[in-house]
Every structure is written in C-alpha cells, then in structure tokens.
Amino acid sequence: MVKVGIVGGTGYTGVELLRLLAQHPEAHLEVITSRKEAGMAVSDMFPNLRGRVNLKFQDPAEAPLHQCDVVFFATPNGVAMLQAKTLVDAGVKVIDLAADFRFKDIPLWEKWYGMQHACPELAAEAVYALPEINRSEISGARVIANPGCYPTAVQLGFMPLIDAGAIELKGLVADCKSGVSGAGRKAEVAALFSEASDNFKAYGVAGHRHLPEIEQGLSRRAGVPVGLVFVPHLTPLIRGIHATLYARLTKEVDLQALYEQHYANEYFVDVLPSGRHPETRSVRSANFCRLAVHRPQGGDTVVILSVIDNLVKGAAGQAVQNMNILFGLPEATGLQQIPILP
C-alpha cells in the first residue's frame, strides 16, 4: 500500500483527492492537514466522505508527513516550494497541484506569480507531469509538477498536430471556458451564485498565468517557440473545461486518423467519431479528456474541441494518475469512475 499525505485538504482539489484516494485499492490515507481546521473530522466538513475517510485534519507543523510515501500539495501557489525540500530529503515523493514547480524559467515564474521562488533547485529537477506526453520521465521523479487545468486541455488538443508537423506554430488560438470551481473554494464576489449564474464572461485576456505554462509545453514538444493567443472565460458551471482550439494547416493530413492513432493507447483520452462535439458533462467527475477534430468547410483551418473536468483530469485525477506511475501501479488504478449524468 502507498502511504499518502495531503497538505491542504479543505479546498476543492483537496476533497477531490480524498474522494479518489478513498476508493483507491493501493493507497492508504495517513495524514490530511489544515492549519485552520486542525482537529475537525474530515467527514464533518465533507459529509460525502462519511464512512470512507475517518481521519481528522492535523496542523501541518505537527503532522507526520515524513512517514508517508507520497505527499500531495493541494495548496495555493507558493506553499509547496517552502516545504517540499524537507520531504524530498526524507525520501518522500512530492506531487504539487499548484504551479510552484511547473516552470524551468524561474524569472518567468516569478514574473507571473509575483513572488520570489524559494526552491529553484527542486524546480530544476521537477518533472512537468502530463502523462500522455512524458510518462517515462514521471516514473523516476522525486518532485511532480501536476499540470494546470487549462494547460492539460489545450496541450492534449494540439499535441497530435504538433507531432505531425501539420500546423503553423505562430498562429495558435485557444478559446477556453471553465466552471466556477476553477477559482477555488474561497469567498470571492465573482464566484458568488448571484454573480456567476446566468452570466458568461472573458477574463485574463491581457495575460493569464496559464499562458506561459501552455507555451512552455507546446514549445518543448515542437522544438521551437510557438505563438499562442489564449483567452479564458468563466461559465455558469460548477465543473468542466471546454477548449476550442484553432490552427492553420500547413499540409494535407487525415485529421481523424491522426488523432485516433496518436491516442490509440491512451486510456484517459477519448477521440470521438468524425463530426461529433464533446460536452463537459460527458467527463464530469471522471479523469477523461474527450476530443473531436474538425475542418470547417474543408478549409485550411483545423478546429479541435477538448473537454475535461477541471477538478479531475485537470487536477486531482491527473495527480493520482501520476502517483500510479510513480509507484509502478497500473495507470488507471482507482480512476475508472464513469462520468456522472445528468
């Protein structure tokens, strides 16, 4: 059994980790921390976990995290980088669901996240862990940088075309929509029901923190810098990301066959039949990405539709997928939940 600790177990990604790990046949929850809720039973805060998680939240300063095999950080940006080195030195694997270890360019990270990086040496060795792209690097890592939600949907959508050398790399467009849970479990006016319901808006058009992360991943894959316009939107959904991606073709290619072959052996990526349109509800509460590829009017523009659950494949589910790889478990272990309808 893999002994698991979670730092920051009271947010949306924290409770999603708890839900998934409580059902995982090879994981044993040892420690869950929360400075504010220390001493409270987990099931008192999250009644859906009654009978499945019998732990209490512990103060992170006192919790025996060093006794775990792996520790997940479901914390705000800037927290994991302060604690990860002590755990890694004790032989504990670290999986960070925030952005502390996603960038190799530390000055770029500091620019976008507005703080000084406390642990650049671990950022240098951390593996940016999108399994469908760099599975082999993940298995031997000490520090896992779990990708962001938008970056997961966008990179999985563009990757087959980049690998095929079939698109113009300077004119990529990612028009993306997210549910309100992407903003986290905190009191914020923009996330109030009366503010977010019956409304649709763009945000971060001038620059969003996920832009350089996406550019970094796509550029690495392409071997040259890419040009990307990324516009996120807030939708009146709780869960879900829908990414509509645009690129200009540079050569003739059977798009449907390209995508089906590229992801033929990927359990968590589902390429829909030609002409279909994936829906966010088709991945709700599950670790799947569903894709569809279109060529409107047979022109030179390709449109890719990519949907994920931002809390699962976009966060906690992908983190558990990475844990499975780290510990040599079948990748789908504990992650075979069927999406919820309606």
Q: How many CB atoms lie within 10 A of CB 332?
A: 12
H/E segment holding residue 128: strand 127-128
Marked catalytic residue, from 68, 149, 176, 289: 149
User: Residue 273 has what DSSP assignment?
Assistant: P
With b for 16 or more beta-carbon neighbours within 10 A and e for fewer, the 271-308 pattern comes to: bbeeeeebebbbbbbbbbbbbbbbeeeeeeebbbbbbb
| CA gap 298, 253 in Å, rounded | 12
**What is each CA distance from 60 to 35, 95, 96, in whole angstroms?**
6, 16, 15
Which among 36, 120, 135, 48 is positioned nearest to 85, based on CA atoms? 120
Q: How many residues does the chain have?
A: 342
Write out the DSSP string of 141-203. -SEEEPPPHHHHHHHHHHHHHHHTT-B-TT-EEEEEEE-GGGG-SS--GGGSHHHHTT--EE-
Which among 286, 300, 301 is positioned nearest to 334, based on CA atoms? 286
Q: How many CB atoms lie within 10 A of CB 165?
A: 12
Whether 68 sits among the annotated catalytic residues: the reply is: no
Q: Are 176 and 306 in contact (CB under 8 A)?
A: no
Catalytic residues: 149
